[in-house]
Amino acid sequence: MSAPLIAIIGRPNVGKSTLFNRVLGARTAIVDDVPGVTRDRNYADSVYQGRPFRLVDTGGLDPSATEGMLSLIRRQSQIAIAEADILILLMDGREGLSPTDEEIVSLLRGVTKPVYFAINKIDTPKSEGLLADFYRLGQETLYPLSAEHGTGVDELLEAFLPLLPKSGDGTEPTESPPRIAVVGRPNVGKSTLVNTLLGQDRLVVNDLPGTTRDAIDSMVSFRGRSYIFTDTAGIRRRGRIERGIEGYSVARAMRAMGRSDVALLLLDAVEGITEQDTKIAGLALKQGRACLLLVNKWDLQQGNGTARRQYELDLRRRLPFLPWAPVLFGSALKPDSISEVFPLVDQVVTAFTTRVPTGLLNKFLQEVIAENPLPVRRGKPSKAVKSVFMTQVATRPPVFALFVGHPQDVGKTYLRFLENRLREQYPFSGSPIRILVRQK
């Protein structure tokens, strides 16, 4: 049996993301007192008493919303209700039963799947009297809890424990699919790209910059292979980032990039490459991620015969530290134009995980040294060459250790030359390479 899907639903600001984080035991979703912080469906895998399940955090559900951001969030919540196996309706015990709560309950009356009515913010014995109002819903069992402090959460989990399959029932551990973090400035089309790759409106898309807040993972399948694409919040200049929700969003975007294999950097074909683009690319390189560049909205440049050549020249001028990153021109709105994303991801993931045998590596090194000798101290070049040894010590990204007699004599220029020769010899396109010089 596959892990069942459990969706937490409810009106805005009742504590859904807090409960989501509490069950997971980690600050996965952004939490704030402002209504409407959560917009997309946020999925995470968890285990309780040895039984696996998938938890879904949703945006605040307002059944009466017909336009604007609230209507987009409502659509995401409705999709979560439709695909979930178990529903948790969360309500606010301090505010009491509201008309919106009653509308949501009416909406769920035709749902045949299990629904658990949880009353949040019941954090002291004295506050249990607040439950009386909610019995008007006609439910025999209510689950009082405090998502903030954790009281009552175990009782809720125990209630649907019989519905969870035991772990290991016919399941085999499989290799984790590659993780791709979609990063870039606000409003360059990150959510649109992920929706197009998925073939569905998985993420809220709006012309308003800053629509995406949480880092949202989505499993994408292409020709029998799985990939995890993470949509992230747009990263603005540090001085423009507002404290609070945006600060949390950017921090999660950075964390998502750090735990990914590939940073897929979106650039704007119309606005060109900005200083912030170079900074985001630098952050990906600093975190040691494989990189892939996608110039979005390229359909708006059709008819300009020299546009691509000019953009490529500007790209290499503004991002001189990423000459090895593959570049794709396309439109996130058109699936055909971005069909090459998957082959390029496969290419850079292969480079990111490549390991070169030590024997081949040292044979290659001797050939390089014969062509361009190591910088050595005056007097004994032959001894210095004989003492040189190289081995690969890590992957993700590939890291090489170069052992020499005098490490201080090997400068950045020679290491850059050595890196270039490594890239010519082995398939490292799209992946950074690190060379450490050590005393033999």
Residue 428: the pLDDT is 94
Contact status, residue 58 vs residue 9, Cβ threshold 8 Å: yes
> In the chain, which stretches have pLDDT less than 50?
1, 32, 36, 169-173, 210, 382-384
Beta-strand relationship, 216-222 and 225-231 = antiparallel
Which domains, and CATH codes, for the chain? Answer: 5-163 (3.40.50.300), 179-353 (3.40.50.300), 358-439 (3.30.300.20)
DSSP E strands in 129-284: the ranges are 143-144, 179-183, 216-222, 225-231, 262-268
Residue 243: the pLDDT is 54
CA-to-CA separations, 351 to 25, 146, 158, 344, in angstroms, rounded: 34, 47, 45, 11
Residue 250: the pLDDT is 73
Residue 376: the pLDDT is 66
328: CB partners within 8 A, 6+ apart: 292, 293, 294, 295, 338, 340, 341, 344
Residue 171: the pLDDT is 47
CA-to-CA separations, 5 to 21, 48, 85, 117, in angstroms, rounded: 16, 13, 5, 17
- Full DSSP string of 321-359: T-TTS-EEE--TT-GGGGTTHHHHHHHHHHHHH----HH
Contact status, residue 145 vs residue 120, Cβ threshold 8 Å: yes
CA-to-CA separations, 263 to 247, 258, 282, 297, in angstroms, rounded: 20, 9, 11, 19
250: CB partners within 8 A, 6+ apart: 233, 235, 236, 241
Beta-strand relationship, 42-48 and 51-57 = antiparallel
Rounded to 5°, the CA angle 60-62-68 comes to 90
CA distance 288 to 265: 14
Contact status, residue 343 vs residue 350, Cβ threshold 8 Å: no
Could you tell me which of 120, 166, 140 has the C-alpha nearest to residue 8?
120
Residue 30: the pLDDT is 52
Could you tell me which of 373, 354, 348 has the C-alpha nearest to residue 425?
354
DSSP state of 147: T
**Which tokens in the block code for residue 124?**
């002291």
CA distance 55 to 43: 6
Q: 382, exposed or middle or buried, with CB in 10 Å at 0-12, 13-18, 19+? A: exposed
* DSSP SS3 for 178: coil
CA-to-CA separations, 41 to 38, 59, 93, 416, in angstroms, rounded: 8, 7, 24, 44
